[in-house]
Amino acid sequence: MPCVAIVCKPHREELKRLLPELIAWLRKHGYEPVLDREGAGYTASAPSVDRADLPKQCPGLVIVLGGDGTLLAAARIFATVGTPILSVNLGFLGFLTEVRLADLYATLENWCAGCHSLDERAMVHAILWREGAEVTSFEALNEIVVSKGDIARMGEFAVELDGRSVARFRADGVIVSTPTGSTAYTLAANGPILTPDVDAMVVTPICPHLLTLRPIVVRGDASLIVRIEGVPNVALLTIDGQQGLELHLGDEVRCCRSKYKVKLVRLGDTGFFEALRSKLSWGEL
């Protein structure tokens, strides 16, 4: 039977009831479910593996039961294999996880019938470069953030675009965002909202010392470098608000468009602007 992977948000009591029902429904319709370890804590009625190993099961669909954070974690894992993701909102805002729990089985019926479309979202690829060598690399659906540590003093950063100097400034940090991430941390830092199909990235200073230093939108195929030129105690690199590591003085974070895309299953016609209105109250009187 074709495999369906299920990725679960931890500490959600409704999963005790939901998961056995969903597993039974999938098997009735000819699919074999496999859970991540978080889901295995709520039921033993399906096999489970570590979340990072779910792509090895070759699922035809990923069902995310959680909020946007759970979806972001799943997106980074499954983008490399191109598995479509159907996200069900068990979180709070749920900007990306558009399916309501009450609509789960109707949505799955439409999936089985082929009545769906795939919304492909661009990712950003980031390489940490230190002392002339690559240290590690990441993929992000929302954003890459370079920021100062926990001391309330600004850091010093430099930004380059395609080998040319853009700016040197003092701030709490810098966000390099995809169009999808323009409605996340970038929006909170007064960045612009981009529709998901725009071929671009957004560079947004976080609380800059100069009020004239505004966010900029660059080409999607641009090559960006954010360099650490001064920090009060420590600097951090954060990926989608979930992965992070400490940076050193002189480190460079090199960002460009990822070769991977996240495929989100869309079955309704609500669209991006409906999500803006309903989730963020954007454009309403």
State yes or no: 109 annotated in a binding site.
no
Predicted confidence band of residue 242 (pLDDT cuts 50, 70, 90): very high
Model pLDDT, residue 203 = 98
- Domains in the chain, CATH or no CATH each: 3-116+267-280 (3.40.50.10330), 123-259 (2.60.200.30)
pLDDT at 107 exceeding the cut of 70: yes
Check if 103 is active-site: no
Residue 115 has pLDDT above 90, yes or no: no
Band of residue 123 on the pLDDT scale cut at 50, 70, 90: very high
**Bridge partner residues of 99 (DSSP):** 88
What whole-number distance in Å separates Cα of residue 207 and Cα of residue 10? 33
Residue 52: Cβ within 10 Å count: 11
What pLDDT, in 10s, does the model give residues 132-183?
Answer: 999 999 999 999 999 988 778 899 999 999 999 999 999 999 999 999 999 9
Q: Tell me, what's the pLDDT at 270?
A: 61
pLDDT confidence band for 269 (50 / 70 / 90): low
Residues 173 and 135 sit within 8 Å (Cβ to Cβ): no
243 marked ligand binding residue: no
Q: Distance between CA atoms of 220 and 179, rounded to whole angstroms? A: 9
What number is the average pLDDT over the span 198-216?
95
Asked whether residue 64 carries a pLDDT value surpassing 90, the answer given is: yes
Q: Is 27 annotated as a binding residue?
A: no
Question: What mean pLDDT is predicted for residues 206-227?
Answer: 95
Q: Where are the alpha helices (DSSP H) in 152-250?
A: 185-188
Q: Which candidate, 178, 115, 57, 174, places its Cα nearest to that of 46?
A: 57
Element containing residue 138 per DSSP (H, E): strand 133-140
Q: How confident is the model at residue 267 (pLDDT cuts 50, 70, 90)?
A: confident
Comparing 33-37, 50-54, 208-212, 246-250, the range with the smallest average pLDDT is 208-212
In the predicted model, what is the mean pLDDT of residues 18-27?
Answer: 96
Residues 6+ apart with CB under 8 A from 97: 64, 66, 67, 68, 70, 71, 87, 88, 89, 90, 91
Q: How confident is the model at residue 266 (pLDDT cuts 50, 70, 90)?
A: confident
Whole-number Å distance between alpha carbons of 208 and 171: 4
SS3 155: strand
Tokens of residue 160, six digits: 């380059």
Bridge partners, residue 244, by sequence? 238
Dihedral angle over CA of 147, 150, 153, 156, nearest 10: -20
150 annotated ligand binder: no
Q: Is the pLDDT of residue 206 over 90?
A: yes
Q: Are 259 and 125 in contact (CB under 8 A)?
A: yes
Which distant-in-sequence residues (6+ apart) come within 8 Å of 79 by Cβ? 123, 139, 141, 258, 260, 261, 262
pTM as predicted: 0.93
Mean of the pLDDT values across residues 252-273? 87
Catalytic residue among 68, 119, 240, 251: 68
Mean pLDDT of 208-237: 93
Q: What DSSP character marks residue 233?
A: S
pLDDT of residue 173: 96
- What angle (nearest 5°) sits at the alpha carbon of residue 246, between those of residues 244 and 248? 145
Mean pLDDT confidence for 62-91: 94
Q: How confident is the model at residue 244 (pLDDT cuts 50, 70, 90)?
A: very high
- Determine whether the annotation assigns residue 69 to a binding site: yes
Q: Which tokens belong to 101?
A: 């729990």
| pLDDT over 70 (residue 98) | yes
Residue range 192-213: average pLDDT?
94
Distance CA 63, CA 4 (A): 7
Q: What is the largest CA-CA distance in the chain?
A: 61
The per-residue pLDDT for 285 is 63
